[in-house]
Amino acid sequence: MAFRNLVACLLATRSAALGLRPQRARLQGLRSTSAGLRSLRGQTETILGSQAAPVAFERADDASRVARRIETVLSRRTSKVIVVLERLVDGHNYSAIFRTCEALGVQHVWIVGPPEERFASRRSLTRAGQLERAERGERADANRLETDSPLTPGSRKARKRERARRAWKADADLDADHAAHGRGAARFLTVRDFDDAAALRAALDGVPDCELWCSDLGQGASVLRKGAPWISGETLPARVALCFGTESTGVSSELLEACDRRVYVPQHGFSDSLNVGVAAALALTEVLDLLGAGGDLVGDDAWAPDDAAPARLRAKWAASLARDDASLAAILASLGGDLAVLDDLRRPDEFRKHTGRPNRPTRRATANRRAAASAQERPHHP
């Protein structure tokens, strides 16, 4: 049935291209040589059993499903692209880019000038401080005696108290969820930190046949699109370090001067820039397609530093995915065997059904309500 559907699709496409009526196109298709049909059948068999037409999915009753998942992810990882983040300050962007890299199979993320807490933005830290200040103010009001002097309206303390009251607890919970997702993706990546651009450039010199491409909005940047003249006229490197700069000003002048090429994601609107997380996703898709990246992390000619060697990644991922020591031992034992990889990484439907257990935001809100109720029940001492 799949073979017949593919033949019908090709005939319809050919009819539209030649301006032929469907019946005439079908007659011409039936006159195709047997050699052509054999070639088409071979293409169909090649497509089947791949991610374009997946057959082998993860099964809930497969005892080695976690190990097979690890081997599948490892077989699709790439070291041809290194994502470089320079002086980003928003924790939401770190989380978004980490999740994008993990989903697209990019193993290496290098950070220049990392913040102390890369998953917390200035806004989220300010919001958390305001919530803490509001809670302290509520406790102080609860302990206030009638003989105490009241809080003066319009005073500095009163204004701070009012700003703290306006902080939304739901936004703070959303910030925590973003941070949790970012940390979850980072568990499966190889992340390196560098103090400055010079240290980054020195590390890139040790990567074989690697060029540094920086995202730039200048008119001298090369359009990052397959089929662009600069791509057809030059030999692409084996690897690319793709750099994105801070949210406000982009890549620093130091890295722009030191890079091998400036690249630009084409846009079609009045806004001349994109959120750095969105720009990273679009640019990564183009670069991965240009380099044919994917599945090159394992092999004799693969570039894999010690902290990203396949054996170390298998052990690291198994420890992150195991529920306990017994399941970890079972996963590691399965990894030592000859496992067939999956065609697609989508989870079984049994794992996507709602189990009735409250999700993380609901559990956090319930815990906050219980803590608030407990605080009100505690006796207040003057």
Domain boundaries, the chain: 2-39, 78-144+152-294
Percent of the chain with pLDDT over 90: 41
**What's residue 251's pLDDT?**
95
CATH number given to 78-144+152-294: 3.40.1280.10
Pairwise CA distance, residues 69 & 47, whole Å: 21
Mean pLDDT of 361-368: 71
186 or 39: which carries more pLDDT confidence? 186
Q: Facing residues of 222 across strands? A: 263
Asked whether the predicted pLDDT for residue 1 surpasses 80, the reply is no
Asked whether the predicted pLDDT for residue 301 surpasses 90, the reply is no
- Contact criterion met (CB below 8 Å) for 76 and 295: yes
In degrees rounded to 5, what are phi and psi of residue 123? -65, -40
Asked whether the predicted pLDDT for residue 328 surpasses 80, the reply is yes
Q: Within 10 A of 183 (CB to CB), how many other CB atoms are there? A: 14
- Contact criterion met (CB below 8 Å) for 36 and 43: no
Q: If pLDDT is split at 50, 70 and 90, which confidence band does 108 have?
A: very high
Q: If pLDDT is split at 50, 70 and 90, which confidence band does 90 have?
A: confident
Residue with tokens 């941070």: 179
**Which of 123-132, 145-154, 281-290 is predicted most confidently?**
281-290
Q: What 3-state DSSP class applies to 112?
A: strand
**What's residue 243's pLDDT?**
98
Q: Output the CA–CA distances (angstroms, integers) from residue 372 to 167, 367, 368, 369, 377, in the order listed.
A: 16, 9, 6, 5, 9
Q: What 3-state DSSP class applies to 44?
A: helix
Q: If pLDDT is split at 50, 70 and 90, which confidence band does 38 have?
A: very low
As a whole number, the mean pLDDT across the chain is 78
**Which of 222-236, 292-306, 341-355 is predicted most confidently?**
222-236
Mean pLDDT of 9-28: 42
Which tens digit of pLDDT belongs to each residue from 221-256?
999 998 899 987 678 999 999 999 998 889 999 999
